[in-house]
Amino acid sequence: MINNQIQNFTAKFENKSLRWRILLYTSISLLFMMLILFSIIRMNFSAIETLGDAYNSNAELSGFSEYLAETEKSLEQYVQYRTFDSIDSFYSNRSKIEDYCENMQNKPSVNEVLQKEFIVNQLCRSFIFYSSKTISAKRGNSSEETNLYYRKTINCYNTLIAQILEYNKLLLKENAKKYEQNHEQIRFAEKSSIIFFTILSILIVV
């Protein structure tokens, strides 16, 4: 029954004029072109968003690193000179660092990028802790504790900066991978459209 229907449909289709078949194939081609174009536009937007995310991530990390550097600089100035400006700058920058940490990964993860973000977050909180203890020790006129916590602060700061650099590299690598995947999809769509139109051209001729 089904075979008969298919044969009848094929026979009717073959009896159609060349002009009718060209119009049909043209309509199908236009529809397919619109779908391909829509897909490519979406994939291009996705690629642009990936680049935008990479830029934003890099800019945020740069700003975060600057807050850390300013905090360390203010701490050093307070330990040496104990000025009001240095302590005011310290608390101002520490507050910005704490706000940034609130939005970071706060638990271990099997994902390499998230795990690195978690490590940066933990080191950052340690930096805040040791630097704050340094300030308290300096205010209490305890030279021994001041030197102890200041050394711990500097060691933590150096490790933290190194981890931030590694974290940034991982982010760039991940975003580059996503960008390449988008381009692979675009190339696949282009190849598919070429194959489709080649087949369509053969059908029109036949």
Cα 50 off chain centre by: 6
pLDDT at 93 over 80: yes
pLDDT at 162 over 70: yes
Q: What does the alpha-carbon distance between residue 176 and residue 170 come to, in Å, rounded to a whole number? A: 10
pLDDT at 171: 85
CA-closest candidate to residue 133, choices 60, 75, 194: 75
Cα 28 off chain centre by: 38
Q: Mean pLDDT across the stretch 184-205?
A: 64
> How does pLDDT run across 2-61, given as a tens digit for each residue?
555 555 555 555 556 666 666 766 777 677 767 766 766 666 666 556 555 655 677 788
171 against 147, higher pLDDT: 147
Q: Is 107 left (phi over 0), alpha (psi -120 to 50) or beta?
A: beta
pLDDT at 70: 96
> How does pLDDT run across 112-158, given as a tens digit for each residue?
999 999 999 999 999 999 999 999 999 999 999 999 999 999 999 99
pLDDT at 175: 75
Q: Mean pLDDT across the stretch 96-112?
A: 94
83, 77 in Cβ contact below 8 A? yes
